[in-house]
Chain A
C-alpha cells in the first residue's frame, strides 16, 4: 500500500538560514496528526513546503505515491486565519464555494449543484444561518469554521490545516474537533499545526514533534512523552508542566 504522505529529505531555507532541515516524514495510513513545536520551529513552513507554496532547498514530497501536482484535487488546505483580508467583499457562502473551484476548471462558475454542496458543508460546521453575512462580521471562531467548510467543500482525502484552533473559544474548539474526528472516520488524513500541548493526547492519534528537524514522530501513546517534549521545547518548564498535566489527564 502506498503511503498517504511521504516527505523525504525536505530542507527549506531563507537566506541560507535553515527553517526546516532534512525532514523525513511518512504517514502510511489515514491519521489525525498534530504537528507541534515551539514558535519558529517551522510548523507552518512544513505545510507550505509540502504543498509547494514555498520553494524547497531540497527534498521530495509524494502523496498517494504521486507528485503533489498530480493529486491536487485530493488535497485540502486551511490557511491561517490572519492570512486573508476579512474585509474582502464576499459573503460566507462565496468563501465556501471557493472550495469547489478546483474541480470546476477554467472560466466555469459554480452552479446550483455546487451551491447545494457548499450549503451542506456550511451546515456541517453549524453556520447555515450565516450564509449571506459579509465575512468581516463573523467572530474569529466562525471565520475559522468558514475556512473549514471551504476545506470540506474540496472533497479532499488529505487535509493540511494551519492552526485551525487559534483564537477560538472552548465550545468552537470542541465543534471543530468533532468535525475532524468525523472526517477521520470517513478515512481522511488530516495534518494539523497545533499549538496547545494540553489537548494533543485528547484529540490526536499521531504526533509530529518539530523543531527545525523532526525530533520524533509516531502514535501519540508512544511518542508524546516528557522526554521527547523536552527535546523539542528545550528547558521551557511551563510548557512541559502543561504537557505533564495533559499526560496525567490521559492516563489516570
Chain B
C-alpha cells in the first residue's frame, strides 16, 4: 500500500510530465525548445522577489512571480533579437545567464537577511523537490494538465498549421500571432508550474525529452502528441519513484536522467527513425537483395544459353564462379549468400562449389527476375514515377503501382522477349 503523500506526489509529477510533454511537442516543432529553457531560468528572480515582497512561501504567489519574470525574460529576448544585431543563440545566452545570476544572488540575500524558517524551500526551485508536494499543489497541476490537454485537442488543427506553415495560416485570415501567443503561454504555464518539482535548471528537459523521444516512433503529429504525453507521464512517474527511493538526491536531476534513458532507448529502438531499427532493416534488405541478385544471375545464365541456341540447362546448375564472375562479391560473400539459399531450401549442393536450384528455387528465380525487370522497365518508361517510388526493398512493382501500369510494363517486356517464364 502506497502512502497517501507518495500517491499525491506521484500523480502530481506524472501529470506535470504529461502536460509539459504535450506542449513540448510544439516547442520542439516551432524550434522554441531553448526559449522554454530561457523562460525557466528567467523565472528564478521572480520567485525570489515574490517571496521578498510577501514574506511568505505560498506557492501560487511564488509561481505568479515566476510567470511574470519568465515573461519579462522572453520579452527581453524578443527585444534583443529585434533591436540589436545579436543572433538568436547569443541573445538566449545573455537572457538565460543574466536572469539566472540575478536569481541566485537574490536567493542568497534571502537566506542571509530574512529570518524565519519559511525561506528554506526556496533552494528547491533550483534543482527541484517533489517530496513537499501537497494536495493543493496537485490541484493546480491537475488543472494545468487539463487545460493543456483541452487546448491541444481543441486547437489541434490550428496549432498544426501554424507550426507547419504560418504564412499559409495567415492567408486564411487566421489570427496567427494570437494563436502563437496562446501556444507560448501554454508552454510558459507548464514550465512555471513544473518549477517547484523539477527546478529551473532541469525543467526544459521535461519539455523537450518526451517529444524528442516520441519523434523516433512516429511520423504523425497526432501520435507524436499522444506518445509525448505518455512518455512525459512515465518519466514523471519513474523519476519520482527513483528520487523517493534514493532519498538523498534532488528530484530534478533524477527525472532528467529517467527522461534521458527513455530518449536514448527511443533513439536506438524507435520504430520510425531508431538506429537499431534502421540497422536491422538495412541488414535484412542487404541479404534479400543479395539473394535476389543470385537468383537472377542463375536465371540469366540459363536464358543466355538458350539464346545462343545451346540447350538450356534443365538442371539449373551453377558454380560459385558464375556468381563471383558476375558480381564483385568476394568468394566468401558469395559462399555466404549461397549458404543462406541452401538453408531456405532454394539451392541444392551437388559437389564442391557446384550447385543447382531446387524446384522452389527455380520458381523464385523466375519471380525475382520478373520483379527486377519490371523495375528496370519502370525506370526506363516512367522516370518521373520511378524516382520516389523506386524501392529496392520491394521485390516487384506490383505492390506500389496501379494494375494498369504493371500490365503495360509486362506487355512491353513480353514484346521485347524479356519476360521470364
Q: Which residues of A contact B (CB under 8 A)?
A: 48, 51-53, 69, 72, 75, 77, 79, 83-85, 88-91, 94-95, 98, 101-102, 104, 106-110, 129-130, 133-134, 137-139, 142, 150, 169, 171-172
Sample of 5 more A-B contacts, CB < 8 Å, known A52-B170, A53-B167: A53-B170, A79-B168, A101-B169, A101-B172, A110-B157
- The 7 sampled A-B contact pairs (Cβ below 8 Å) are A77-B167, A83-B165, A89-B29, A98-B165, A101-B169, A138-B388, A139-B387
Q: A-facing mask of B170-183, CB < 8 A → 1, else 0?
A: 11110000000000
Among A52, A101, A137: residue with most chain B CB under 10 A:
A101
What's the Cα separation between A135 and B173 when bound, in Å?
Answer: 25
In the bound complex, residues from chain B placing their C-beta under 8 Å from that of A138 are: 388
Please tell me if the beta carbons of A139 and B388 are within 8 angstroms of each other in the complex.
yes
In the bound complex, residues from chain B placing their C-beta under 8 Å from that of A137 are: 388
Q: Which residues of B contact A (CB under 8 A)?
A: 29, 154-158, 160-161, 163-165, 167-173, 215, 218-221, 224, 383-385, 387-389, 400-402
Kindly count the residue-residue contacts between A and B in the assembled complex, taking CB atoms under 8 Å apart. Answer: 83
Nearest CB in chain A: distance from B263 CB, A: 17
What's the Cα separation between A23 and B118 when bound, in Å?
Answer: 66
* A88-B164, A139-B388 known; A104+B157 contact, CB < 8 A: yes
* A98-B164, A107-B154 known; A129+B389 contact, CB < 8 A: yes
Nearest CB in chain B: distance from A83 CB, A: 7
Please tell me if the beta carbons of B173 and A102 are within 8 angstroms of each other in the complex.
yes
In the bound complex, residues from chain A placing their C-beta under 8 Å from that of B388 are: 130, 133, 137-139, 142
Please tell me if the beta carbons of A134 and B165 are within 8 angstroms of each other in the complex.
no
Please tell me if the beta carbons of A129 and B170 are within 8 angstroms of each other in the complex.
no
Task: Select which of A79, A109, A129 is within 8 A of B167 by beta carbon.
Answer: A79
Chain A: which residue is nearest B401 at the CB level? A129
5 smallest CB-CB distances across A and B, nearest first, come from A72-B173, A102-B172, A77-B171, A134-B219, A89-B221
Please tell me if the beta carbons of A89 and B215 are within 8 angstroms of each other in the complex.
yes
Please tell me if the beta carbons of A79 and B165 are within 8 angstroms of each other in the complex.
yes
Chain A: which residue is nearest B171 at the CB level? A77
Nearest CB in chain A: distance from B266 CB, A: 14
Please tell me if the beta carbons of A77 and B168 are within 8 angstroms of each other in the complex.
yes
What's the Cα separation between A95 and B158 when bound, in Å?
Answer: 13
Please tell me if the beta carbons of A109 and B221 are within 8 angstroms of each other in the complex.
no
Please tell me if the beta carbons of B164 and A53 are within 8 angstroms of each other in the complex.
no
What's the Cα separation between A169 and B386 when bound, in Å?
Answer: 14
Please tell me if the beta carbons of B161 and A51 are within 8 angstroms of each other in the complex.
no
Nearest CB in chain B: distance from A95 CB, A: 8
